[in-house]
Structure 1
């Protein structure tokens, strides 16, 4: 399984394409004016749920956050919950204004 990454001027996404299907597991984000990013959406197709795909996407986001010095606003409930569960990820959460 390969996680792909797309980035544009306003944000990007991590995704796992499924051969022969329009359905993809994905985690999307957008860039904020203050230099933080907002992780705003995580989706896994119904037939692929329960296999850890959302977690793998989030792990990739966190690897990139470390490498690119990103601070994350976790507006996606899944991302917020997982960041609370993993103490090593808490340092990547953007400070609340």
Structure 2
């Protein structure tokens, strides 16, 4: 069973980290400033690829942003591609 935790430092830089049985298998690197969350990178360990973990990280980030009335700057190629591919789904949170 996977768990996703948002882990930030005192400057609000960090990541949504995905763990399976206490082993970190994926991360979405972010920073938060005021009401804007910037996504820099999404990565999944090679042995965990193809299991939908990047999508789960995206869904967790989107839920967090919506719950906190924030906007997203998508510098991460994966997140940017998803936002472009499904603009209707993300238009409320995408800061272009």
TM-score category of the 2 structures, normalised to the smaller one: 0.7 to 0.9
The whole-number CA distance in structure 2 between the counterparts of 1:39 and 1:20 is 24
Alignment of 1:14-29 (within 5 A): 14-19=16-21, 23-29=24-30
Q: CA deviation at 1:46?
A: 1.0
Counterpart-to-counterpart distance in 2, 1:20 and 1:12:
18
Provide the C-alpha distance between the structure 2 equivalents of 1:88 and 1:11, rounded to a whole number of angstroms.
26
Q: Give the Å deviation of 1:47.
A: 1.3
- Number of corresponding residues: 93
TM-score (norm 2): 0.83
Return 5+ residue gaps in structure 1 as ranges.
none
TM score, norm. by length of structure 1: 0.82
The gaps in structure 2 that reach 5 residues or longer are none
Query: Equivalents in 1 of 2:68, 2:8: separation in Å?
Result: 13
RMSD of aligned alpha carbons? 1.8
Q: Which structure: greater strand fraction?
A: 2
